[in-house]
Amino acid sequence: MTAAVARGLRAFGRFWWEFIVGDTPELFVATLVVIAVSLALASLHVVPVIVVPAVAVVAVLWSAARGRVRPRAED
């Protein structure tokens, strides 16, 4: 593999990482959890109408709370 091909593959991987994960990896993980919960409930023949949106809302609120900037104490 040439250096140019390796560099191109790394750039391609970095692009997709930034595009899918971005600045909030917890939302990426939460998306995977929502999909897993949905599939698990569907395999049990339960319609995940309430559970999936609730998990999504909790994930967004958790991410917003983590991203909130707290004011620094005055010295």
Cut 0.75: pTM above it: no
Q: Is 7 or 72 the better-scoring residue by pLDDT?
A: 7
Q: What is the pLDDT at residue 75? A: 56
User: Considering only CA atoms, which of 18, 51, 26 is closest in space to residue 37?
Assistant: 51
At 22-44, the pLDDT tens digits run 877 878 888 888 888 888 888 88
Distance CA 45, CA 43 (A): 5
